[in-house]
Structure 1
Amino acid sequence: MRIDLHTHSTASDGTDTPAELVRKAAAAGLDAVALTDHDTTRGHAEAIAALPEGLTLVTGAELSCRLDGISMHMLAYLFDPEEPALLAERELVRDDRVPRAQGMIAKLQGLGVPVTWEQVARIAGDGSVGRPHVASALVELGVVPTVDDAFSQDWLADGGRAFVEKHETDPFEAIRLVKDAGGVAVFAHPAASKRGRTVPEAAIAEMAAAGLDGVEVDHMEHDADTRARLRGLAKELGLLVTGSSDYHGSRKTCVLGEYTTDPEVYGEITRRAFGAFPVPGAGGV
């Protein structure tokens, strides 16, 4: 059984529509895939409607968090999307995305980059605008060769020349909100140091004590030594270990199913959740 628990669609910063994503997931030989767009569940209905037979959809979201000035992401699985407190927090984060993107554009223009809001809005389309859309604009303009290259101190990385902070949830609050909504909380790519500073292991231990369910260990931004270290930390703290592609379509180089989650871990996630349930494919449309 092949399970990928971290993907993005055009509902946030991916390049595949939710329908395209689930079809590609089936074609890639996956048995289960999680749709975890940034701070939104807007793509779930389309993904469910198009879900091919033989593929199970795990509904979720990737929540934007910040701890002691360090940006981090929390993967939330199988929560009730209408639970009022978590819904209000997701909307608060999403509402801050537009002024944040406009602030980054203003900084880039001050650095001599001829990027415009119209260009970024076109790239974002109907998705929740974010840094990857601004990064894609820099690629279009020939400022950087790839989206990943835009996430540097020269440009959009945390603390970079064009970085602008946005509202982000305290991770301990995020864990509480997710659990209260019947979901499961997993710390996404905790050692992805190319993105900026990472949360110390002592803080991960504190989050585990506060109810964190797991850590995403097998990820393209973790090398072999890092994966081994995180796997040991997870065992010590009693946390589940997940693996996933963090697929964004053509915006990033990762491919669906590049890393996967052990079926026993997937089973434990579904057992812990009570806010929603995995959706089996019925043939799609």
Structure 2
Amino acid sequence: MPRASAYTTAASRLAHLAAPARADLHTHTVASDGDYTPSQVVALARQARLAAVAITDHDTLAGVPEAQHAAAGAIEVVPGVEISTSFAGRELHLLGYFVRPDHPELGAALARVREGRRERFRALVALVQARGASIPDDRARLTETAADSLGRRHVADLVIVAGAARTRNEALQRFVHPVLKQAPPKVLLPIEEAVALVHAAGGVASLAHPPEGLTDEQVVALKGHGLDALEAVYPWARRAPEVRFRATAAAHGLAVSGGSDCHGPDPAHRRVGACAITAAEFAALRGRAGCAAH
């Protein structure tokens, strides 16, 4: 294959520079239930020509240092977390951005939630074993050691290791989902407590993938608890939710956040960079966190 001409190379570089800056602010790594290491997420974010990527593992900030080291200044890595919370009798997830990973109060609260996850993981393993999945004890212990924050995807992967299912989806549908109600309930932080902790850690709080039934009255209540943003940009199955939540955010003076919610290579529409917000939206979020622009 002939080498690219100097003109072609220059044109390619100019096209890269001219590409609009975007930020994917919702990704997961092996620190929780993602398939990629933090370094791999950073590499994929660079391939997607993102200006910034947030590491937002479930209830842990453990993946942030590796990602920031891997970035080496080539891309901004936003320290983030997706916190399991409760609001109005239901589970909601809160995204915290620009938080200090070493903040003691936030760290202690997340540790409590992770301990609940660990107990639930062990109970789920026992329950799926009772359904016929012979999970080796040493593999279950290895999973506990490898991931800082455990979830149902980890149990499903153990079912595959046991040979009881061939795919994660099959393992979830046949073994994990039928026993979820028998496991101990999740440990959830009241959302007002989670928002306050994010703010205390210097961050900005956004509601992750807002539920379809979210009402204006609930948005007002959440804003009263200090909520800063809504995740309107998300791999929704259709365009309508983004339009609706953008309008809701504007009506209530909230910022817009967004991201791919990538957990791994599949599905393709949730890969790193598949959903991202603009540079202006990213700057607005940063401003609400009180962070100086870089």
Q: How does 1:58-207 map to 2 (within 5 A)?
A: 58-116=78-136, 118-123=138-143, 126-128=146-148, 129-140=150-161, 146-147=167-168, 156=176, 160-161=180-181, 163-191=183-211, 200-207=215-222
Contact 2:133 2:163 in 1 (8 A): no
TM-score (norm: length of structure 1): 0.83
Q: Which structure has more helix as a fraction of its residues?
A: 2
1:218 aligned partner, one-letter code: V
Question: Does residue 223 of structure 1 match 2:238?
Answer: yes
Which of 20, 28, 40 pairs up with 2:40? 20
Instruction: Give deviations 1:66-97, integer Å, cap 9, x for gaps.
Output: 22442221110112223332121011111222
Measure how far apart 1:143 and its partner are. Answer: 5.6
1:149 and 1:215 mapped to 2: Cα distance?
A: 32
Measure how far apart 1:142 and its partner are. Answer: 6.2
Question: Does residue 245 of structure 1 match 2:245?
Answer: no
Measure how far apart 1:199 and its partner are. Answer: 5.4
1:248 aligned partner, one-letter code: H
- Once the two structures are overlaid, the 10-residue window that deviates more, 16-25 or 123-132, is 123-132
Contact 1:242 1:262 in 2 (8 A): no
TM-score (norm: length of structure 2): 0.81
2:181 and 2:51 mapped to 1: Cα distance?
A: 42
Instruction: Tell me the equivalent position of 1:214.
Output: 229
Contact 1:123 1:136 in 2 (8 A): no
1:223 and 1:145 mapped to 2: Cα distance?
A: 30
Contact 1:156 1:163 in 2 (8 A): no
1:28 and 1:114 mapped to 2: Cα distance?
A: 40
The higher radius of gyration belongs to 2
What is the root-mean-square deviation of aligned Cα atoms in Å?
A: 2.8
1:242 and 1:204 mapped to 2: Cα distance?
A: 15
1:240 and 1:269 mapped to 2: Cα distance?
A: 6
Instruction: Tell me the equivalent position of 1:283.
Output: none
Gaps of 5+ in 2: 1-20
Question: Does residue 235 of structure 1 match 2:250?
Answer: yes
Measure how far apart 1:155 and its partner are. Answer: 5.2
SS at match of 1:40: coil
2:105 aligned partner, one-letter code: A
Contact 1:215 1:239 in 2 (8 A): yes
